[in-house]
Amino acid sequence: MNKRIYVRTHGQITLPINLRRFFHIEKGDVVEVEKTKRGILLKPRKTIDSTQAYFWTKEWQEEERKVDEDYKAGRFKEVKSVKQFLKELHQ
């Protein structure tokens, strides 16, 4: 898809809405700019809220994979209430 966009005051460009939607680019997002042999490459970057950064650590992601494997293998118990959950937890 080739589309022409124009450089405006102060070197600003506007990305077409279909590209912003496709790449989930929202107001305030960071877009990395890289010079390549063929031209300019724009790379959308999402920043992670510091209160959520733990989730993306290698250790946490490994534990997430283990939980997914346990779930797929049926190694879990269903509980119907918080009371039942706490009882199971303390056994």
pLDDT single digits (tens) 1-26: 677 899 999 999 999 999 999 999 99
Q: Is residue 26 part of a domain?
A: yes
Q: Is residue 1 part of a domain?
A: no
Beta partners for 8? none
The total number of structural domains in the chain stands at 2
Q: Is 54 in the same domain as 41?
A: no
31 neighbors 42 (Cβ within 8 angstroms): yes
Examine the pLDDT at 50 and tell me if it is beyond 80.
Answer: yes
State the Cα–Cα distance between residues 12 and 39, nearest whole angstrom: 17
Q: Is residue 28 part of a domain?
A: yes
Q: Is 61 in the same domain as 78?
A: yes
State the pLDDT at residue 11: 94
pLDDT single digits (tens) 54-71: 998 999 999 999 999 999
Residues ≥6 apart with Cβ < 8 Å to 83: none
Q: Is residue 3 part of a domain?
A: no
Strands 40-45 and 30-35: antiparallel
pTM of structure: 0.52
Q: Is residue 25 part of a domain?
A: yes
State the pLDDT at residue 35: 97
Q: Which of 13, 53, 47, 52 has the alpha carbon at shortest distance from 29?
A: 47
State the pLDDT at residue 58: 95
Residues ≥6 apart with Cβ < 8 Å to 19: 3, 25
State the pLDDT at residue 1: 63
As a whole number, the mean pLDDT across the chain is 92
CATH number of residue 41's parent domain:
2.10.260
